[in-house]
Amino acid sequence: MEKFKQLVENRHEYAKAWKAKTGGKVIGWFEPYFPEEIAYAAGVLPVRMLAQHEPDTISDKWVYASCYPASDLVNMFLKGRYDYVDGIVNVEGCQWMFNAFEVAKNTNPNLFQHYLFLPDYTDAYTSKDVLRSELEVFVRKMEEWTGNKITDADLDRAIDVYNTNRRLLRRIAELRRADQPVLFGSEAMNVVLACQVMDKAEMNDILEKFIEELEERKPAGDRIRLMLLGSETFDTSLEELVEELGANIVIDELDNGTSYYWNEVILQKDRLMALSLRYLGRPHNPIKDNNWRRRPQHIFELTEDFHVDGVIIAKQIYCHLHGSDNYAVWKILRERNIPFHFFERDMTMPYEETEQRLVAFMNMLRPGLTRLVGWHQPMTI
Amino acid sequence: MAKGQKWETKPLDSWNRAKELRAGWQKSIERTDKVVGQGNNTWFLAFPAVQVIEDNPAGSMIAAKSDSFARKSRLACEVRGWGREICGYNNTCWGGQFLGYQDDGSKFPYRQFVVPIPCVCDSHTKRGEQVKDFSPVPRWQLDFSMYLGERDPDRELAMYDHKTYCTIKQVNDMERIFNQEFDDEKLIKMMRSSSEVGKYRSDVSAFMRHIPAPLTAKDLYSFFTMGMLTKIDPDETVRFWKMFRDEVEWRVQNNIAAVGNEQFRWMEAHPPPWHYLKYYRYMEQKYGAVCIGSQYVSGSPMMDLDGSFTGRAYPSYPSDTKLETREDIFRYWAGIEARGPHTWKMDEYLRPYALNEFAQTYQADGALLGLWRSGVGCNLTRKEQAKKLREAGYSVMLYEGSQPGDRNDMDEMRFLDQLDDWMESQGFRPFTD
């Protein structure tokens, strides 16, 4: 478990070492809809701008009363934690993250910066075309910035590396469907987060070996099976707390969790169209899930597939997107008798309060868990 | 500005006509024989029996009229999962949907379709989800395509196509679903009137630079909705705006003040607390302090893409362009909106930085800036810009509250005390002393 957690914690050192080794450029991205394949094809290392809380004396004047991940990112940026980043890109999405991007851009005018429009209306007939056009612009910008021509072969190579990564992550996810999974939710989340800050080709090698290890690993025992929903996560403190309490998060539907890798790029001659369709077809976060929603049904399917006993919905305070989506999610969970517990948090999770809430939630779940009380045992009347 | 200066003042003649038009609109939305929807596009008027009601003003009005109902409304949303800190306009309005009645006890006008305006902020984009999640009515999303940096006309082409296609699909779907014929001729007429009204709005905006101010921010908020949130006949809209514009020009030429003892001109930056507009009058009557608006309201029609207020080049109706089909019309409109002068989303990312320019151009003496809790579109770089205003010699007061449409957390008495401190710290004394 420690290996991936350390990779996430040491992400800044990793990126700096990567730059020193390759002489390449690093680009920071704010939204999980960022088409990393294009940056990767240009020889650039794309890294997710993961927020991390530290005493904040500086963000308030830029992003007052902001969602905490965004203000923590501003704090980190202004304090130079991301001083190794050569460029930043924001994709149309969460407006809090756009604000963080704006501050980063305006306080570091020498950085390469790009705003990529990705329709909020993902299902329109023309959405694929407008996104394809935007990807073409981005290719051009990357070529100008790096001086590297992005060929079809470069894109094919990048798509292959990223698809491989997605496939490996799906294999790990499949292992979590077992009656007694061999890995915990915290470990799985650290794996996904590490993938977002590392060179994917290097990460793929690590994952291949890790899967081999997992297949030999003994199960961790029967536990309450939980699902995690809500705002994006930046650490695994919640998953670890759940594990301490005797449960396990066996699946999530977080924007930078399973949704990050759930679907692949399906190849076609027009590579940019293939990328466009992939990003428009991924499991959506609330801002992209409009009209005839897909998200609640996707969540329900995951609860079935992963035999979830209950759902935790952890929303970041001030998250407008999940604040606007929870009604539909609560509704489907209630209609289908899936117990859930909702709470708000910020970047620092109040440990004892959350612990008490989760203990109460699990106590509520236990009597109904036929699997745990032993449905195959002889009845004692 | 010299203290003690007295200006001639006179009520606006346009008020009576504005009230008539507004009352007519109110009556029209109460008609039950129309298809009622959530939305704000002007082109809905080209349907014979479609009425749109935007939750933005509805939420503000509820917050202003009844604190207890507004609280009940928000709670009705919160217990169903809606975030307590999402846009106050949303929860204050849509709680009535769950409760089944409005603030006056009448039945809630359930919406039969939704077309959100995907502009400015995430809450706008998600606007109307309450309706859609409540019952399976049609909802048509639109995108407000935008990008940053140098203008790139080639980049905009796909955005025009996208916007044009989505809009035409909405219209065609609505014709089929609601069995109503869309009037393309009326649409062309609306486009012309929109173009003319745009010019009049710019003129009125420019007149606000004058000392004494011919209008106050309250007037702007009332009049600038005419033909927009308050949807009226296109010809009537143009006639009204011409009358209003001419009257404001006359006031400027003759130094007719909105506030006769104007001695301090202050600006804002974003919408006010709609539930507590009393502070405008408080400042006028107690200190002769007049609010000249903001880069959000009075400056908006004048703001160019470089953030200056030198004038926005509104495209006029192109007489050399053939508009023969519905697609022609909507493509032309999309062309204006995708990145051009009406691009609200771009504005939203220019506005936060344009405070000093506004203060200078509109001859402000000070700024009263709201810090809205969770105001994702209202707070970007707010305190940094306050610092810049102070550095340029403008007096600035910051105050905190929940969002403009949400009166939950705003301490109104403290706010008035702050205003007194602010004015007195600049050497002003209440007229009553």
Q: Which of A116-120, A175-179, B119-123, B387-391 is least confident?
A: B119-123
User: Are the beta carbons of A119 and B162 separated by less than 8 Å?
Assistant: yes
Question: What is the enclosing helix (H) or strand (E) of B349?
Answer: helix B344-350
Q: What is the spatial distance between Cα A46 and Cα B147, in angstroms, rounded to a whole number?
A: 21
The mean pLDDT of chain B is 88
Select the more confidently predicted residue: B336 or B301: B301
Q: What is the torsional sign of CA A20, A21, A24, A25?
A: negative
Q: What is the mean pLDDT of residues B316-327?
A: 72
Interface test with B, best of A95, A122, A299 (most B CBs within 10 A): A95
Residue of B nearest to A71 (CA): B380
Longest dimension (CA), chain B: 67
Q: pLDDT value at position A375?
A: 57
- Nearest C-alpha neighbor of B220 from the set B316, B282, B302: B302
Select the more confidently predicted residue: A147 or B86: A147
Domain boundaries, chain A: 8-149
Q: What is the mean pLDDT of residues B105-128?
A: 83
Residue B91 has pLDDT above 70, yes or no: yes
Q: pLDDT value at position B341?
A: 42
Interface test with B, best of A291, A313, A330, A335 (most B CBs within 10 A): A291
Select the more confidently predicted residue: B321 or B342: B321
Q: pLDDT value at position B101?
A: 95
Residue B86 has pLDDT above 90, yes or no: no
For chain B, the distance separating the N- and C-terminal CA atoms, rounded to the nearest angstrom, is 21
How far, CA to CA in Å, does B253 sit from each of B212, B242, B360?
A: 11, 16, 21
Instruction: State how far residue B290 is from chain A, nearest Cα, in angstroms.
Output: 27
The mean pLDDT of chain A is 94
- Nearest C-alpha neighbor of B314 from the set B298, B297, B296, B335: B335
- Nearest C-alpha neighbor of B262 from the set B319, B309, B212: B212
Residue B26 φ then ψ, to 5°: -60, -40
Pair B190, B236: CB distance under 8 Å: no
Q: pLDDT value at position A230?
A: 95
Q: Which of A107-116, A140-149, B334-343 is least confident?
A: B334-343
Interface test with B, best of A320, A326, A335 (most B CBs within 10 A): A320
B238-246 contacts, C-beta under 8 A, 24 or more apart: B238/B193, B238/B196, B238/B197, B240/B14, B240/B17, B240/B18, B240/B21, B241/B196, B241/B197, B241/B200, B241/B201, B242/B196, B242/B200, B243/B14, B243/B17, B244/B14, B244/B18, B244/B200, B244/B204, B245/B200, B245/B203, B245/B204
How would residue B320 be classed by pLDDT, with cut points 50, 70 and 90? Answer: low
Residue of A nearest to B136 (CA): A292
Q: pLDDT value at position B336?
A: 61
Percent of chain B with pLDDT over 90: 50
* B374 interfacial to chain A (CB closer than 8 Å): yes
Instruction: Give residues 208 to 267 of A whose Cβ lies within 8 Å of B.
Output: none
Select the more confidently predicted residue: A1 or A222: A222
The predicted-structure confidence for A92-110, as pLDDT tens digits, reads as follows 999 899 999 999 999 999 9
Give me the DSSP letters along B283-330.
HHHHH-EEEEEETTTTSGGG--TTS--S---PPPP-TTS---SHHHHH
Question: What is the enclosing helix (H) or strand (E) of A303?
Answer: helix A295-305
> Which CATH fold would you assign to the domain A8-149?
Rossmann fold (3.40.50)
Set of chain A residues whose Cβ sits within 8 Å of the Cβ of B130: 327
Q: What is the spatial distance between Cα B171 and Cα B44, in angstroms, rounded to a whole number?
A: 9
Select the more confidently predicted residue: B160 or A194: A194
Set of chain B residues whose Cβ sits within 8 Å of the Cβ of A113: 148
Residue of B nearest to A60 (CA): B383
Q: Which of A370-379, B170-179, B331-340, B421-430 is least confident?
A: A370-379
Interface test with B, best of A132, A316, A324 (most B CBs within 10 A): A324
- Which of B85, B149, B161 is nearest residue A126 as measured by Cβ atoms? B161
Instruction: Give residues 120 to 139 of B whose Cβ lies within 8 Å of A.
Output: 121-123, 125-126, 129-130, 132-133, 139
Residue A274 has pLDDT above 60, yes or no: yes
Instruction: State how far residue B394 is from chain A, nearest Cα, in angstroms.
Output: 18
Instruction: State how far residue B137 is from chain A, nearest Cα, in angstroms.
Output: 10
A146-152 contacts, C-beta under 8 A, 24 or more apart: A146/A25, A146/A42, A146/A43, A146/A44, A148/A42, A148/A43, A150/A38, A150/A41, A150/A42, A152/A271
Give me the DSSP letters along A22-41.
H---EEEE-STT--HHHHHH
Percent of chain B with pLDDT over 70: 92
How would residue A118 be classed by pLDDT, with cut points 50, 70 and 90? Answer: very high
User: Are the beta carbons of B125 and A120 separated by less than 8 Å?
Assistant: yes
Q: pLDDT value at position B342?
A: 42
* A119 interfacial to chain B (CB closer than 8 Å): yes
Q: pLDDT value at position A372?
A: 64
Instruction: State how far residue B371 is from chain A, nearest Cα, in angstroms.
Output: 7
* B173 interfacial to chain A (CB closer than 8 Å): no
Residue of B nearest to A140 (CA): B155
Residue A82 has pLDDT above 90, yes or no: yes
- Nearest C-alpha neighbor of A220 from the set A175, A254, A260, A251: A175
Pair A116, A92: CB distance under 8 Å: yes
Complex ipTM, two decimals?
0.92
Residue B244 has pLDDT above 90, yes or no: yes
Residue B60 has pLDDT above 70, yes or no: yes
Residue A366 has pLDDT above 80, yes or no: yes
Residue B399 has pLDDT above 80, yes or no: yes
Q: pLDDT value at position B266?
A: 97
How would residue A374 be classed by pLDDT, with cut points 50, 70 and 90? Answer: low
